[in-house]
Amino acid sequence: MKKPIDLYCMALQDRSDRVRWLLEEMNVPYTNHFMPMGSAEKNSPEYRKLNPMNRVPTIVDGDIVLHESAAICMYLADKYSYGKLAPESSNVKERALYTQWMIFSVGTLEAVVARMFTHMNSPTEIAETLKYVKEQSAFFKMALNPILERQDYILESGFSAADIMLGAVIPGAYDDLVKDNPPIQNYMERLKSREAAIRAKVF
Ligand SMILES: N[C@@H](CCC(=O)N[C@@H](CS)C(=O)NCC(=O)O)C(=O)O
């Protein structure tokens, strides 16, 4: 029998959330390894060998060791759900859009959302950060709203790992993206009600 995938994280609600949600969607067995922030295990040389960045998530799947949540989700969806949660390469347009949204979710959206955790150290910085997030969120809405007004998920072909990435990141900008914005609000309700997301305790 295949060994369950090892998923290294600090807690359920860190960036391991999207990986756990995807594994639950695919019914792929996994083991959570919780290493609280500042713990000896997280700072150990053994963990550094798996992830030299000393961050989470990291997975070990046989001889594959991977970090970066979007890369992990792309790898897992290709390996365990090719043609379902990951569009096939022969479906050139869907695959290109899938890659776009996977990378957007961490490289652009999460980069903006994360500012609210790191750039809030003085009243001036807080005001600047909130203004920046609001401005960027206006662009995000321009990109996402028209798509989510015409279809249930970010890809025309239906629910995919890209929705998992977006769904895990979007709540971080709740006031600017979700509140009083029916297209994203309804999208988030659809995602939150998925049994795999509930099992993974993402929200
Ligand atoms: N781009 C990376 C970011 C990873 C990351 O920053 N993870 C945070 C937790 S959510 C972390 O490990 N922080 C602990 C630390 O920096 O020591 C990804 O998406 O996996």
How far apart, in whole angstroms, are the C-alpha atoms of residue 154 and residue 130?
26
Q: Yes or no: say if 80 and 27 are a contact pair by the CB < 8 Å rule.
A: no
Ligand 1 binding pocket includes 14 (Cβ within 6 Å): yes
Distance between Cα 10 and ligand 1 center (Å):
9
Q: Yes or no: say if 73 and 102 are a contact pair by the CB < 8 Å rule.
A: yes
Whose CA is closest to atom 19 on ligand 1? 69
| Among 18, 13, 7, 4, CA closest to 196 | 18
Helix (H) or strand (E) holding 141: helix 123-150
Which residue(s) pair with 34 in the sheet? 9
Question: Which atom of ligand 1 is least distant from the CA of 54?
Answer: 17
pLDDT score of 1: 78
How far apart, in whole angstroms, are the C-alpha atoms of residue 140 and residue 198?
26
pLDDT score of 117: 87
Q: How far is CA 23 from CA 43, 67, 87, 88, 135, in A?
A: 26, 15, 17, 19, 34
Enumerate residues 6+ apart whose C-beta is below 8 A from 78. 86
Question: Which atom of ligand 1 is least distant from the CA of 106?
Answer: 19
How far apart, in whole angstroms, are the C-alpha atoms of residue 78 and residue 83?
8
Distance between Cα 53 and ligand 1 center (Å):
8
Tens digit of each residue's pLDDT, the chain (203 residues): 789 999 999 999 999 999 999 999 999 999 999 999 999 999 999 999 999 999 999 999 999 999 999 999 999 999 999 999 999 999 999 999 999 999 999 999 999 999 998 998 999 999 999 999 999 999 999 999 999 999 999 999 999 999 999 999 999 999 999 999 999 999 999 999 999 999 999 99
How far apart, in whole angstroms, are the C-alpha atoms of residue 115 and residue 50?
27
| Among 64, 74, 80, CA closest to 25 | 80
All structural domains of the chain, each given as residue ranges with its CATH number in brackets, are 5-81 (3.40.30.10), 92-198 (1.20.1050.10)
How far apart, in whole angstroms, are the C-alpha atoms of residue 17 and residue 12?
6
Cα distance between the two ends of the chain: 32
Question: Which atom of ligand 1 is least distant from the CA of 42?
Answer: 17
pLDDT score of 133: 95
